[in-house]
Amino acid sequence: MTLPTPSFSPAFARIRAAARAEAVNRERDHSLPFDTVEELQRIGFGSRRLTAEPRIPLTELFGNIVDLAAADSNIAHLFRGHIAFVETLLFNGDSEAQARWRDRLRSGALVGNAQSERGDTTDIATTLTRTEDGARLNGCKYYTTGSIYADWIHVSALDGGDYVGATVDARDPGVATADDWDGFGQQLTGSGSTTFTDVPVAPADIETFSPDAERFQYITGIYQLCLLATVAGIAEAALADTVDFVRPRQRTFAQAGQNPPRESELVQASVGRLSAASHTARAAVLSNAAELDAALAARLRGEEAGELFLAAQLGVFKTQQTLLPLVLGAVTELFEVGGASAVGTRLGLDRHWRNARTIASHNPAAERARQLGDYHLNGRLPARRSASGVSGQAPASIRTAIAATAEGA
């Protein structure tokens, strides 16, 4: 694995340390981490895959995401749409678009994500309208993770009969983002509503979706792995907080004795299992990142990479099946180390379970398990059901491709 550049590493470590120290109070006070996000962008956290020479590998990027999530899972999660946006640029290999966005991202710009809409179907109601003054975007999105912090927002819309991606200036007066996400976890990700009213869109920032199985597999894998990396970071944070909680204690459950809790075999076993879950989660995320990286590298070299992309996507889906229950079990067991005192709100240990459970509710693992079984039994490739209700086949349908980016965003 390529190590972070010297100029990046110390600053990143300092920001992580500050974020970890603030995490409990920030969540208790519902204080959105605008300053931390700005600091991360200032040191190039969100642009390194486009601007670093040689390009940093995905294993390094996702290792950084795990590290950041171990400090504050909200901050790691809110970068999900931005990371997928950058990886889409790299996948497309469009040098003109890459150059334009490289300049924007190098200056610290953050790209938010606005794909999903509330309703009884997965149909998209947001529209792009052509006028004499140029294209205008109108509509309302929900689960717009990261958009409240963003300088640009990537939005799915209908352009006549075509499905498009439009990237708009978040500072335009027609853009209104509300912090109305009401989940019991990941409360500081800004995953609420964003409304677009006659927002201008530059022609160069409109992309028509086209069927592409490899892109679907790669970007779906990236989106899901961002979530899994965040959960892996939660496991590491839970381990660190549990150790900090146990070490100074002198009382084991209801008894005072000669041996402090850290000498209790029961407490040791609980911490040992939590440490194993944390280690396994990070290792699995980095393994999946290496597979995705290998597939993209082969494509960019002009090699046939279809099997590599499929294997990488399936690998992420399989990790989802094992990593989520592993970490959820571990962050539940951490409460066994301290009895009733471990549930005090001052400690905020409950946030680890709430945040992991919230993330695990994205992209339901039960549906992914069925897709995996269907693939191995019948050879059908994993695909989100399209808006018409018909299960997609590779190459993915346009609606499926859009839905894939919107899942649990």
pLDDT digits (tens, 9 = 90+) for 74-101: 999 999 999 999 999 999 987 888 889 9
Is the C-alpha dihedral spanning 148, 400, 96, 44 positive or negative?
Answer: positive
Nearest 5°: the CA angle 4, 281, 147 is 65
pLDDT at position 205, please? 95
pLDDT at position 318, please? 98
Q: How far is CA 367 from the centre of its chain?
A: 19
Q: Where are the beta strands (DSSP E) in 214-367?
A: 251-252, 255-256
158-172 pLDDT, tens digit each: 999 899 999 999 999
Say how far apart CA 198 and CA 235 lie, in whole Å: 43
pLDDT at position 392, please? 35
* Of 3, 31, 115, nearest in space to 403 by CA: 115
pLDDT at position 401, please? 41
**DSSP letters along 9-50, please?**
HHHHHHHHHHHHHHHHHHHHHT---HHHHHHHHHTTTTTHHH
pLDDT at position 398, please? 36
pLDDT at position 6, please? 47
Low-confidence residues of the chain: pLDDT under 70: 1-7, 251-258, 384-409
pLDDT at position 94, please? 75
Nearest 5°: the CA angle 399, 127, 152 is 90
Say how far apart CA 51 and CA 18 lie, in whole Å: 26
Say how far apart CA 28 and CA 20 lie, in whole Å: 14
* Of 99, 52, 21, 118, nearest in space to 348 by CA: 21
pLDDT at position 252, please? 62
Exposure of 303 in the CB half-sphere (CA atoms within 13 A): 10
Say how far apart CA 101 and CA 207 lie, in whole Å: 14
